[in-house]
Structure 1
Amino acid sequence: MNRLDRYIAWQLVKDWTLVWIVMSAIFSLLAIVDELERIQNHYQTADVVQYILYTLPQRSMDLVPVIVLLGTILALARLNKNSEIIAMRAAGMPLTYFFRAVAVPALLLVLLLYGVSEYVSAPLYQKAETEKSLARTGRTNLLRGKGLWSVNNLHFFNVRTLRHGKIPSDIYLFQFAPDGRLLNFIYAETAEPSKDREWELRDVTQKTLEDSTLKTTFRKELATGPFWSPEELPVLPLPITGMTLTGLYGYVEYLHATNQNWQRAEQLFWQKIALPLTAGAMVLLATPIGASLRSQRSTAFGSNLAIGAGLGIGFYLLIQIINTGSSLVGIPPAIVAFTPTILVLAATGWLFSRMR
Structure 2
Amino acid sequence: MTTILGRYIIRQVLLGTALAALLLVALDAVFALIDELRDVGRGDYGVAQALMYVALTLPRRMYEMMPPAALLGGLLLLGNLAAGSELTAMRAAGMTVGRFVAWVMQGGLIVVLAMVAIGEFVAPVAENRAQNLKATAFDRELSVGSMGLWARDGRRIVHAEAVLPEDRLAGVRVVELGEDRRPRVITRAAGARYTDGEWWLEDVERSRPDFDGVVTEHADEERVERLIAPEYFSVLVVEPAQMGARDLHRYIQYLQENRLDSAPYEVAFWQRLTLPASTWVMLLLAIPFLFGSQREGGAGRRLFVGIAIGVSFAIVMRAMTHVGLVFALPPVLAASAPVLLFLVAGLLGLRRVA
Which TM-score band applies after superposition, normalised by the shorter structure?
A: 0.7 to 0.9
C-alpha separation in 2, matches of 1:119 and 1:181: 39
Query: Counterpart of 1:21 in 2: which secondary structure?
Result: helix
- Paired residue for 1:47, among 31, 49, 67? 49
Q: Which runs of 5+ in 2 are unaligned?
A: none
> How much has 1:13 moved relative to structure 2?
1.0
Superposition TM-score, scaled by structure 1 size: 0.81
Q: 1:236 to 1:39 in 2, by over 3 A?
A: closer
CA contact (8 A) 1:164 1:243 kept: no
Name the CA shift for 1:320/1:260 in 2 (closer, same or farther; >3 Å): same
Q: How do 1:244-283 and structure 2 match up within 5 A?
A: 244-283=244-283
CA contact (8 A) 1:204 1:222 kept: no
1:183 to partner: Cα distance: 7.0
Please report how far the alpha carbon of residue 134 of structure 1 lies from its aligned counterpart in structure 2 after TM superposition: 3.0
The CA distance in 1 between the partners of 2:117 and 2:343, in whole Å, is 23
Alpha-carbon separation, structure 2, partners of 1:312 and 1:159: 45
CA apart distance, 1:12: 0.9
User: Which residue matches 2:29?
Assistant: 28
CA contact (8 A) 1:8 1:102 kept: yes
Kindly indicate whether the alpha-carbon contact (under 8 Å) linking 2:13 and 2:108 is maintained by their aligned counterparts in 1.
no
Taking the aligned partners of 1:4 and 1:205, their CA distance within structure 2 comes to 71
The aligned counterpart of 1:96 is: 98
| Greater gyration radius | 1
Letter in 2 for 1:67: A
SS of aligned partner of 2:201: strand
Q: 1:335 aligned to 330, 333, 341, which one?
A: 333
Which residues in structure 2 correspond to 1:187-198 (within 5 Å)? 188=188, 191-192=191-192, 194=194, 198=199
Q: 335-344 vs 84-93, which deviates more?
A: 84-93
2:298: which partner in 1?
301
Could you tell me how far apart the structure 2 residues matched to 1:163 and 1:34 are? 22
Q: TM-score, normalised by structure 2?
A: 0.81
Residue number among 55, 64, 67 corresponding to 1:65 in the alignment:
67
* Contact kept? 2:321, 2:335, Cα under 8 Å: no
1:261 shift after superposition: 2.5
2:8 is equivalent to residue 11 of structure 1:
no
> Does residue 125 in structure 1 map to residue 123 in structure 2?
no
Q: C-alpha distance in 1, partners of 2:67/2:151?
A: 42
- Please give the per-residue CA displacement for 1:88-123, whole angstroms capped at 9, x wherever unaligned: 222222222111111112123223222211222233
Instruction: Answer whether contact 2:163 2:238 (CA < 8 A) is retained.
Output: no
Return the alpha-carbon distance in structure 1 between the equivalents of residues 124 and 302 of structure 2.
33
SS at match of 1:40: coil
Q: Using a 3 Å threshold, how does the CA distance of structure 1 residues 243 and 57 change in structure 2: closer, same or farther?
A: same
Cα 1:7–1:216 shift into 2, 3 Å: farther
Contact kept, 8 Å, 2:82 with 2:88, in 1: the verdict is: yes
Deviations for 1:66-99, whole angstroms, at most 9, x for unmatched residues?
2111111112111122222222222222222111
- Which residue does 2:240 correspond to in 1? 240
| Other-structure match for 2:115 | 113
**Alpha-carbon contact 1:163-1:169 (below 8 Å) kept:** no
Contact preservation (8 Å) 1:290, 1:308: no
Give distance in 2, aligned partners of 1:318 and 1:27: 17
How far 1:339 sits from its partner (Å)? 0.9
Q: What is the CA–CA distance in structure 2 between the aligned matches of 1:13 and 1:111, rounded to whole Å?
A: 12
Contiguous gaps of at least 5 residues in structure 1: none
How has the CA–CA distance of structure 1 residues 183 and 288 changed in structure 2, closer, same or farther, with 3 Å as cutoff? closer
Shift of 1:224: 7.8
Match of 1:231 in 2: 230
Residue identity opposite 2:228 in structure 1: S
For residue 77 of structure 2, the aligned residue among 70, 75, 78 is: 75
CA contact (8 A) 1:194 1:229 kept: no
Deviation at 1:312, TM superposition (A): 2.1
Cα displacement (A) at 1:250: 1.8
Deviation at 1:221, TM superposition (A): 6.8
CA contact (8 A) 1:126 1:242 kept: no
Post-superposition CA distance 1:21-52 (Å, at most 9, x none): 22222222222223223322532211221122
2:323 equivalent among 304, 319, 326: 326
Structure 2: how far apart are the matches of 1:38 and 1:175? 33
- Cα separation, partners in 2 of 1:203 and 1:101, compared to 1, 3 Å: farther
* Identity level (%): 23
CA RMSD of aligned residues (A): 3.5
Of stretches 14-23 and 87-96 in structure 1, the one that deviates more from structure 2 is 87-96
**Cα distance change on mapping 1:6 and 1:230 into 2, 3 Å:** farther
Kindly tell me: are residues 105 and 205 of structure 1, through their superposed partners in 2, closer, same or farther at Cα, counting changes over 3 Å? Answer: farther
Q: Distance in 2 between matches of 1:246 and 1:25?
A: 28
CA distance in 2, matches of 1:321, 1:48: 28
Query: What is the rounded CA distance, in whole Å, between the counterparts of 2:205 and 2:270 in structure 1?
Result: 33
Q: For 2:133, give the aligned amino acid.
A: E
